[in-house]
Copies of this chain bind each other. A is one copy, B any other.
Amino acid sequence: MLEIREATASDLERIWPIFQAIAAAGNTYAYPPDVTKSEGEHLWMALPRKTFVAVDSGELLGTFYLKTNQAGQGAHVCNCGYMVASAARGRGVATAMCEHSLRVARDLGYEAMQFDFVASTNEGAVRLWQKLGFEIVGRLPGAFKHPAQGNVDALVMYQRLTDRD
| Interface residues in chain A, defined as those with a beta carbon under 8 Å from any beta carbon in chain B | 23, 26-27, 29-33, 35, 70-77, 111-112, 114, 116-117, 119, 137-147, 151, 154, 156, 158, 160, 164-165
Contact = CB atoms under 8 A, between A and B. Distances in A.
A117 B31 contact: no
A141 B112 contact: yes
B70 A117 contact: yes
A57 to B, nearest CB: 33
Contact of A114 (B70, B143, B145): B143
Contacts of A151: 76, 111, 164-165
A102 to B, nearest CB: 16
29 contacts: A23-B72, A26-B73, A27-B73, A30-B72, A30-B73, A30-B74, A30-B75, A31-B72, A73-B119, A73-B144, A73-B146, A74-B144, A74-B145, A74-B154, A76-B145, A76-B151, A111-B142, A114-B140, A137-B138, A137-B140, A137-B141, A138-B138, A138-B140, A141-B158, A141-B160, A142-B164, A142-B165, A151-B164, A156-B156
A129 B131 CA distance: 34
Contacts of A143: 70, 74, 77, 112, 114, 158
Given A30-B71, A142-B164, 12 more contacts: A26-B72, A29-B72, A30-B73, A31-B71, A70-B116, A74-B143, A74-B154, A111-B151, A112-B140, A114-B140, A116-B116, A140-B156
A121 B33 CA distance: 38
Contacts of A117: 70, 74
